[in-house]
Amino acid sequence: DAKTTQPTSMDCAEGRAANLPCNHSTISGNEYVYWYRQIHSQGPQYIIHGLKNNETNEMASLIITEDRKSSTLILPHATLRDTAVYYCIVRAEGDDKIIFGKGTRLHILP
Amino acid sequence: NAGVTQTPKFRVLKTGQSMTLLCAQDMNHEYMYWYRQDPGMGLRLIHYSVGEGTTAKGEVPDGYNVSRLKKQNFLLGLESAAPSQTSVYFCASSYPPLGQRKWWANVLTFGAGSRLTVL
């Protein structure tokens, strides 16, 4: 089973920040939080990952709570091209069996 | 640098036929994966491999076989296709050899997918 839970779907207005939550209450100390997205029927694409500190790259920001039991992916200025399914997974370095959940289907509204 | 390449991209089979999907990666990754994705659903792990000559079962292995005779290739076989195996199949790889691992070592790189229809 997936180690994370995410809302099934979310809406966000174009130009606004999209905040996608992920719950990982059983995360271990050596497990990282990874985010991927899948646009239409393409292969999933890596977005960002982190251990305990907040992270930012050119695509998004990742905010991890102090107890590490949940995190939020932030797309600062959502565009129509951000419409996709977003997957949150937890994985320790070298973990081999990678299980995805059902992800969150994000709809960007014009 | 092609990344992960899947062949074929599309295939239509009749029930009972057999076929093999090929996944090839040119990143020298140790780990390779096969997932399936049904309409409106998430990714489900079929089989995976942690190195040349190794394979292991994922969440939904029944009806599939895999082989990893060469490090860069991971083959997914359907011996007797069934309509329930109609799906989009994705291959992924990760984890460079020791000495080449940096912050992105555990990032999965996916192929573009193979759409299989079983009639």
Give me chain B's average pLDDT, please: 93
Task: Tell me the chain B residues in contact with residue A34 when contact means C-beta distances shorter than 8 Å.
Answer: 106-107
d(CA B109, CA B26): 11
Closest chain B CA to residue A85: B42
- B45: tokens are 């792990």
Report the half-sphere exposure of B3 (CA within 13 A, side-chain side).
13
pLDDT, tens only, A74-109: 999 999 999 999 999 998 887 888 899 899 999 999
Residue B40 confidence (pLDDT)? 83
Note whether A51 contacts B: Cβ–Cβ < 8 A. Answer: no
Residue B98 confidence (pLDDT)? 72
Residue A75 confidence (pLDDT)? 97
Measured CA distances, A60 to A13, B36, B103 (Å): 17, 27, 17
Residue B103 confidence (pLDDT)? 73
d(CA B38, CA B88): 6
Give me chain A's average pLDDT, please: 94
pLDDT at position A70 over 70:
yes
Pick from B45, B106, B107: CB nearest A99: B45
Say which residues have a Cβ less than 8 Å from residue A2's Cβ, sequence separation at least 6: A89, A99, A100, A101, A102
> What is the secondary structure of A49-104 as a DSSP string?
EESSS-EE-SS-EEEE-TTSSEEEEEETT--GGG-EEEEEEEEETT---------E
pLDDT, tens only, B4-38: 999 999 999 999 999 999 999 999 999 999 999 99
β pairing state of A70-75 and A18-23: antiparallel
Q: With beta carbons less than 8 A apart as the criterion, state whether B23 and B35 touch.
A: no
Pairwise pLDDT comparison (A41 vs A105), residue with the higher score: A105
Residue B72 confidence (pLDDT)? 97
Task: Tell me the chain B residues in contact with residue A91 when contact means C-beta distances shorter than 8 Å.
Answer: 106
pLDDT at position B97 over 80:
no
pLDDT at position B1 over 70:
no
Pick from B44, B106, B113: CB nearest A43: B113
pLDDT at position A51 over 90:
yes
Mutation site, B34, B35, B43, interface A, largest A CB count within 10 A: B43
| pLDDT tier for residue B117 given thresholds of 50, 70 and 90 | very high
d(CA B99, CA B28): 12
Of all residues in chain B, what percent carry a pLDDT higher than 90? 84
Of all residues in chain B, what percent carry a pLDDT higher than 70? 98
pLDDT at position B51 over 80:
yes
| pLDDT tier for residue B39 given thresholds of 50, 70 and 90 | confident
